[in-house]
Amino acid sequence: AQSVTQLGSHVSVSEGALVLLRCNYSSSVPPYLFWYVQYPNQGLQLLLKYTTGATLVKGINGFEAEFKKSETSFHLTKPSAHMSDAAEYFCAVSRGSTLGRLYFGRGTQLTVWP
């Protein structure tokens, strides 16, 4: 079975501060892991994904995430928050045979204060 836990439904940071959004997963098979972002009135957009290879994955808009198998984690970070990063972020896991068949976490709403 696959599931995703996102710790913290709301995270607030100041502009320029580190962003850390937490994600832990459980999977019965080696997972493919994703972070999506959802801006108001827009569709979900892929930030980054881990399938195989390097465990530190870089995505768009300066975000990156590290796959840590021993901790079953895939936390999302960005060194310096920007006002435009305010959005809802979803972590997701896939079994891999069909990457589009995703299991999503509940989401984390990121607020960035000026």
Q: Which candidate, 36, 72, 64, 68, places its Cα nearest to that of 55?
A: 68
Say whether residue 32 binds another protein (CB under 8 A).
Answer: yes
User: Does position 46 bind another protein by CB under 8 A?
Assistant: yes
Q: Which two tokens stand for residue 69?
A: 């198998």
Other CB atoms closer than 10 Å to residue 48's CB: what's the count? Answer: 19
In angstroms, what is the minimal distance from the CB of 104 to another protein? Answer: 3
Q: In whole angstroms, how close is the CB of 60 to another protein at the nearest point?
A: 12
Query: 17, 22, 51, 64: which one contacts another protein (CB under 8 A)?
Result: 51
The two three-digit tokens of residue 101, written as one number: 């068949």
Q: How many CB atoms lie within 10 A of CB 95?
A: 17
The answer to whether the beta carbons of residues 25 and 2 sit under 8 Å apart is: yes
| Residue 43 interacts with another protein (CB under 8 A): yes or no | yes
Which 80-99 residues touch another protein, going by CB under 8 A?
90, 92, 96-99
Residues in contact with another protein by CB under 8 A are 4, 9, 32, 41-46, 51-52, 90, 92, 96-107
